[in-house]
Structure formats: structure tokens, C-alpha cells
């Protein structure tokens, strides 16, 4: 029995990094890049030691960590008013949070570019920690709620 538990634990650990390496679900909200369409959904990958990547079905954006000069995190907090009206008044007490990540960087030819992404709530902390570690920059927070959510 112990052998079976140990084997399952080892298999679980082996699958863990692969799942984390797939990246976080993200959506391109806007920025200075004409090649990406607002609303494009994809994966934000920060596991690469050289660059962060935002991959969509149609394209991929690679930003070398050494060129990143701004990391900003913010939230949009909404009360669930529509759900409270339609489903239950108790839902008015809950909040729906959207997590936004702004990344500023300089291109090889010296132009400043910016990307605004909406990142999945389950992955935002890991993304922020990875970006701080890989870029050497501190994340700036747009408000107190974002600071609490980003650092826990």
C-alpha cells in the first residue's frame, strides 16, 4: 500500500511542473502592439529563463526579461449586482475580481512598448513572483486591493 501511495505521489510531482510550464490563461486587453487584437486569448508563459511569452492561436509575443522596465498589477473589483438580482440577494456580498498586468518594455530599436493583459486569478501570484525574480524589478501596485491580492 505504501508503495502505491509513494508511486502516485511521485507521478503527481512529475506532472506538476509540466502543468505549471503550460502558462497562465490570459487575455490581451490592449497596448501599443498593432499585431495583437484586443480580446485575443492565450497563455502567458513565465517559466522560460530568458523571456516571457504570450501565445495566442495566431501569434506569439516574446519579451526578453532584460528589456522589461515596468511591471504593474491592478484589479477591477465589481459587486455581482446582476447575479444578485437574478439568482440570490446573497450574491451582492461577494465580489468579482479581474486581475490586470501591465508590462512595459523597450524594443531592440529603442521604442517603448506596453502590453495590458488580464490574467487568470489562480495564476496571478505566481506570475508576479516569477516576473520580479526574472527581471529584478519590483511590481508596482495600482491600489491597496491589488497590493493585498498580489502579495497575500
| Cα dihedral 58, 64, 70, 71 in deg (nearest 10) | 70
55 pairs with which residues across the strands? 43, 60
Residue 131 domain-assigned (yes or no): yes
Over the stretch 34-63, which tens digit does the pLDDT of each residue have?
Answer: 889 999 999 999 999 999 999 999 999 999
Has residue 115 been placed in a domain? yes
For 136-146, give one letter per residue: b (16+ CB within 10 A) or e. Answer: eeebebeeeeb
Decide if 46 is inside a domain.
yes
Contact 50, 65 (CB under 8 A): yes
Does the residue 10 lie in any domain?
A: no
| 3-class DSSP assignment, residue 71 | strand
Q: Is the pLDDT of residue 118 over 60?
A: yes
pLDDT at 147 over 70: no
Rounded Cα distance between 124 and 40, Å, is: 18
Phi, psi of 67, deg, nearest 5: -95, -10
Instruction: Evaluate if residue 101 carries a pLDDT over 50.
Output: yes
8 occurs within a structural domain: no
pLDDT at 49: 94
Owner of C-alpha cell 440570490: 88
Residue 139: pLDDT above 50? yes
Number of domains observed in the structure of the chain: 1
- pTM greater than 0.75: no
CB 96 within 8 A of CB 78: yes
Q: How many helices (H) and strands (E) does the chain have?
A: 4, 8
Q: Is 147 helix (H, G, I), strand (E, B) or coil?
A: helix
Q: What is the mean pLDDT of residues 124-133?
A: 94
User: Which of these ranges, 4-13, 50-59, 91-100, 102-111, has the smallest mean pLDDT?
Assistant: 4-13
Phi (first) and psi of residue 45, to 5 degrees: -110, 120
In a domain, 76, yes or no: yes
CATH code at 65? 2.30.29.30
Domain interval for residue 112: 23-151
Q: How far apart are CA 136 and CA 140, in angstroms?
A: 13
Amino acid at each position: 500500500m505504501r508503495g502505491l501511495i509513494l508511486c502516485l505521489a511521485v507521478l503527481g510531482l512529475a506532472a506538476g511542473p509540466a502543468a505549471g510550464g503550460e502558462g497562465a490563461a490570459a487575455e490581451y486587453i490592449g497596448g501599443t502592439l498593432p499585431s495583437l487584437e484586443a480580446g485575443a486569448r492565450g497563455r502567458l508563459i513565465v517559466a522560460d529563463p530568458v523571456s516571457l511569452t504570450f501565445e495566442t492561436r495566431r501569434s506569439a509575443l516574446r519579451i526578453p526579461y532584460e528589456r522589461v522596465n515596468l511591471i504593474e498589477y491592478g484589479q477591477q473589483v465589481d459587486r455581482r449586482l446582476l447575479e444578485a438580482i437574478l439568482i440570490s440577494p446573497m450574491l451582492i456580498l461577494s465580489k468579482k475580481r479581474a486581475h490586470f498586468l501591465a508590462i512595459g518594455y523597450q524594443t531592440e530599436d529603442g521604442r517603448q512598448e506596453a502590453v495590458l493583459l488580464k490574467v487568470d486569478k489562480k495564476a496571478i501570484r505566481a506570475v508576479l513572483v516569477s516576473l520580479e525574480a526574472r527581471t529584478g524589478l519590483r511590481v508596482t501596485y495600482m491600489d491597496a486591493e491589488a497590493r493585498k491580492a498580489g502579495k497575500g
